[in-house]
Amino acid sequence: MAERVDYDEFGLFQENAEEFGLPYDGPPAVRRVFAEVAPGRRLSALVWGAGEPELVLLHGGAQNAHTWDTVAMALGRPLVAIDLPGHGHSDGPGEPAAGQPAIQRNAADVATAIRQLAPAARAVVGMSLGGMTTMALSAEAPELVRAIVLVDILPGSRSGRARHITDFVNGPRSFPSLDELLERTTRFNPSRSRSSLRRGILHNAEQQPNGTWVWRWAKHRSPEASPAPASPEETEARGEQLWAALTSAGVPVLLARGMRPDSVLGDEDEEELRKRLPSAEIVHMPDSGHSVQGDMPLELAALIERFVFGS
């Protein structure tokens, strides 16, 4: 049996600070909370700071709220990072209404959580799946979305560009050891430090009683219960729904676009945003792929600070 690995989710922040040169005089004020979104079903979140939360951060698919740790530490503002349904420490998604896409279900749950945890937040920051959820949220609960920061995502992003991500996510459902999981993750993220990837795994996977490791989000995915893939027509229609939500939100919008080949956006996506929403600000993140919060966390934090707070 594999050796048991100790994990303290609030004991790794010094590593974040040291890796990115942030000042560190002790653990930040952060706590895990739960918001009931339906009878018997809760979303989990990390609440940073003691004041009224000023930001809501939504992670990407197969990630969790800890993906924002370095960004949150660099910002130094009270904020809430939510585990999306079926991710991190949140419960799985609820049963869909007839024809209700998963993004709309996410948005409804997230709206309920934000009303409890961060009703006065100045902006919602969403990466990938979190960004699509943010767009849907702007239609579901417009009073909660006062500005939007999208991290390497737009409606209708070409699925072919995300193939490397889906191939990674759809890989083995369990791993014999932490080292094997780390090796696979390192091959997927060759530009990241091993210490950074190890932290991410400890936050995003859990060791089973028999010593094996599984992703936290994998617990909520059953191959037998997986829905049929959406048709091209359905995908296009859902993309148009998100475009309509984004362009009619009437709030400031910023896109932080990763410029490495492992981004999911291309020039045509950026041009589509310029055409549909000329007021949107677009910032290129030259040393980042899809996960800007991991590749360029300090630069992303500075961008959020400037865009949302003008400082």
pLDDT in tens, 59-108: 999 999 999 999 999 999 999 999 999 999 999 998 887 667 899 999 99
Chain-centre distance for alpha carbon 28: 21
Tell me whether residue 34 is in a domain. yes
Tell me whether residue 223 is in a domain. yes
Tell me whether residue 45 is in a domain. yes
Residue 230 has pLDDT above 80, yes or no: no
Tell me whether residue 101 is in a domain. yes
Q: Total structural domains in the chain?
A: 1
pLDDT bracket for residue 225 (50, 70, 90): very low
Q: Over range 231-243, report the average pLDDT.
A: 87
Question: In this predicted model, what pLDDT tens digit does every residue of 260-283 receive, in sequence order?
Answer: 999 999 999 999 999 999 999 999
Tell me whether residue 187 is in a domain. yes
CATH at residue 253: 3.40.50.1820
Using the CB atoms, write b or e for 47-59: b if 16+ within 10 Å.
Answer: bbbeeebbbbbbb
Question: In this predicted model, what pLDDT tens digit does every residue of 16-63 receive, in sequence order?
Answer: 999 999 999 999 999 999 999 999 999 999 999 999 999 999 999 999
Tell me whether residue 202 is in a domain. yes
Tell me whether residue 4 is in a domain. no
Q: Which residue has the higher pLDDT, 225 or 212?
A: 212
Q: For residue 11, give the amino acid letter.
A: G
Q: Where are the alpha helices (DSSP H) in the chain?
A: 13-20, 69-75, 102-117, 129-140, 163-169, 178-188, 194-204, 232-247, 267-276, 292-295, 297-309
Mean pLDDT across the chain = 93
> Among the listed ranges 63-72, 103-112, 204-213, 219-228, which one has the minimum average pLDDT value?
219-228
Report, as residue numbers or ranges, the catalytic residues: 128, 152, 290
Query: Which strands, in side-by-side order, build the sheet including 253-258?
Result: 30-38, 41-48, 79-82, 55-58, 123-127, 148-151, 253-258, 281-285
- Domain housing 152: 13-309
Q: Over range 224-237, report the average pLDDT.
A: 67
Q: What is the pTM assigned to this prediction? A: 0.96
Tell me whether residue 67 is in a domain. yes
Residue 176 has pLDDT above 80, yes or no: yes
